[in-house]
Structure 1
Amino acid sequence: MRKLLTVCLGNYCRSPFAQVALTRRCGAATTVRSAGLIGKWQDQPANPSMIQAARRLGLDLTPHRAQQITLEMLDWADDVLAMDAAVLETLRAICSEAHGRKLGLYLRDRDVPDPMGQGDDAFHDCAVLIEAGTALHLGRSLR
């Protein structure tokens, strides 16, 4: 069983959507979890605009509750997928060398833009980009 961890700043928009998109795309052979670097939205549902964007793409984000990343999550994961370069840089700063080998960008060579503070169209565009990026993670490890 492959284990993926998606990480964004607050586990409020991008990483929870990536979790449900990857879960749908990768199937039973992959378990996906998500987390945020900060605990600002700890135990809160996903952003309402991202819930709506997910619904438009046939995904349900309503069960999600935000959580802050822990060392246990990093130990658990085979691959840790950062939503942008700033998140990846922070993860590299807090991770051990063993964890560092698991780190990479979700889209491999570019950021998933953070839609926070923008309108519903930005959330939809973000969700479409994340959904398209699921193809990068079918049966492939970062290593």
Structure 2
Amino acid sequence: MPAGERRRATSSGPPPSNVDAARRGSSRSSQQRPASTARSQQISLDMLEWADKVLAMDASVLATLRAVCGPKNENKLRLYLGDRDVPDPMSQDDAAFHECAVLIEAGTALHTSGRIT
């Protein structure tokens, strides 16, 4: 591929920026990590009861979780960034995926430092 040419997503897999962000891992690490094999699944009451904390990426997901979990588990639910949504970059350009990855990494730093609980 010539220098400067952008890779394009195909219908056979995720956009390259998704894979690049997953491989990048923590900004503190210089190691390349393979993309995760984890897959999304619908949340269940059993999952909510098992978890110590459940982090939602946006307010609409948080509202859905609240509807599923009931009052017993509501104290476990939080927005990932505390007071703002992580924007969904799906169907957007590489810059949107990069910005999303930056926000997620920043949120990770805030969670691990205890600044967001």
Q: Verify same fold: TM over 0.5.
A: yes
Q: CA deviation at 1:68?
A: 1.7
SS of the residue corresponding to residue 97 of structure 1 reads coil
Q: Is the 8 A contact 2:44 2:68 kept in 1?
A: no
Aligned pairs, how many? 97
Residues 139 and 53 of structure 1: is their aligned pair in 2 closer, same or farther, counting only changes over 3 Å? Answer: closer
Q: Decide which structure has greater strand share.
A: 1
- Per the alignment, residue 78 of structure 1 pairs with 52
- Could you tell me how far apart the structure 1 residues matched to 2:42 and 2:87 are? 20
Q: What residue number does 1:87 align with? A: 61
Q: Are 2:98 and 1:107 aligned?
A: no
Task: Report the RMSD for the aligned CA atoms in angstroms.
Answer: 2.2
Deviates more, 1:49-58 or 1:69-78: 49-58
TM-score w.r.t. length of structure 1: 0.59
- Which residue is 2:9 aligned to? none
1:52 Cα offset (Å): 2.2
TM-score by length of 2: 0.70
Q: Which residue of 2 aligns with 1:52?
A: 20
- 2:39 pairs with 1:65: yes
SS of structure 2 residue aligned to 1:98:
coil
Distance in 1 of aligned mates of 2:19 and 2:105: 14
- Paired with 2:39 and 2:73, the residues of 1 have a C-alpha distance of 24
The aligned amino acid for 1:107 is L
Deviation at residue 139 of structure 1 after TM alignment: 6.7
Contact kept in structure 1, 2:22 and 2:36, CA below 8 Å: no
Structure 2: gaps of 5 or more residues: 1-12, 26-31
Match of 1:6 in 2: none
Q: Which moved more, 1:64-73 or 1:87-96?
A: 64-73
Once the two structures are superposed, what CA deviation does each residue of 1:1-41 show, in whole Å capped at 9, x if it has no partner?
A: xxxxxxxxxxxxxxxxxxxxxxxxxxxxxxxxxxxxxxxxx
Tell me which of the two structures has the higher relative contact order, counting C-alpha pairs closer than 8 angstroms and 6 or more residues apart: 1
Which segments of 5 or more consecutive residues in structure 1 lack a partner in the other structure?
A: 1-45
Distance 1:138 1:128 in 2: 15
